[in-house]
Homo-oligomer: A and B are copies of this chain.
Amino acid sequence: MSLLVVGSVAYDGVETPHGKVERMLGGACTYIALSASYFTKVNLVGVVGDDFHSEDEAILKDHDIDLAGLERAAGKTFYWQGVYSNDMNDRETLRTDLNVFADFDPNLPEAYHKTPYVFLGNIHPSLQKKVRGQSVSPRFVGGDTMNFWIEGTADELAETIREWDFILINDSEARLLSGEHNLRRAAERIQQMGPHTVVIKRGEYGAILFRPEGHFIAPGFLLDEVFDPTGAGDSFAGGFMGYLTEQGVTNLDEASHVHLRRAMIYGSVMGSFCCEQFGVGRLRTLTREDIDKRYEEFRAFTEF
């Protein structure tokens, strides 16, 4: 089984109370792909500029991520810079240079067309729809979005998510998309828009899986120290989709409900690891043993 991931590959500048890094590998697609790579083969679709370092490419290749879909365009790679508040609950964007990402027009290499699992990262909904259209009968397809598209391209977004099996979204985005404050009703409303599976992320408080047959609450992991939360939500997405791909889950059988719950925990595990070092530092050095050990910790602190 393999997983297609489309989204931003970027350089990030990040400042947290624990330090400051001027420029390091980042971008939603990078985090999702690295996180998922511990579970499955990943086919990446993105764009970088001519300033993209071979060392950063090597990080992705070392995790057996297929880069046939990584376009190299003339110009600079997407750059984002932000600073976190002392309690890490807020961040301020200091700079967003879209650069080559502004004209990103994803095209799947022939070899990617039949990838059975598809995660459409946060890009223009029409581009997400286009990638979905190039996929040949995927088994499980969905993605995420953000306030910018919910507010600015509501019609295109509605068109796009109508075809999705699942959506991953944070709580404020879920409220904005649904027009409902209550998360239960927000999820119901979003399910009516298309995806039968809605995952609402709540930052440090964990995430909730909503399915027609009921919901499942995954708590956040209590870290001793959060060094850098950048990419935690994307790492969650990578763990969630990576595990489902590994298990070959579809929506048609009873077992998939159990796997979806476990995928929520693997997502939470990967999100928690992500925060332990700056950028992709921790996601580079994990082992599947580390991951499974933390998964068992989740069981230990939730069982009653």
Contact = CB atoms under 8 A, between A and B. Distances in A.
A184 B225 CA distance: 9
A86 B183 CA distance: 14
Contacts of A222: 183-184, 208, 215, 217
A260 to B, nearest CB: 9
A183 to B, nearest CB: 6
Given A205-B205, A222-B208, A215 B264 contact: no
B219 A206 contact: yes
Interface string A273-300: 0000000000000000000000000011
A258 interface: yes
Given A202-B205, A217-B222, A219-B206, A87 B181 contact: yes
Contacts of A225: 182
Nearest to A265: B304
A262 interface: yes
Contacts of A261: 303-304
Contact of A304 (B181, B206, B258): B258
A254 interface: no
A86 B175 CA distance: 14
Contact of A184 (B217, B224, B258, B262): B224
Interface string A38-51: 00000000000000
Nearest to A183: B222
Interface of A: 86-87, 181-185, 202, 205-206, 208, 214-219, 222-226, 258, 261-262, 264-265, 299-304
30 contacts: A86-B181, A87-B181, A182-B223, A182-B225, A182-B226, A184-B222, A184-B223, A184-B224, A185-B224, A202-B205, A205-B205, A206-B219, A208-B222, A214-B300, A214-B301, A215-B222, A216-B302, A216-B304, A217-B219, A217-B222, A217-B301, A217-B302, A219-B219, A261-B303, A261-B304, A262-B304, A264-B304, A265-B304, A302-B302, A302-B304
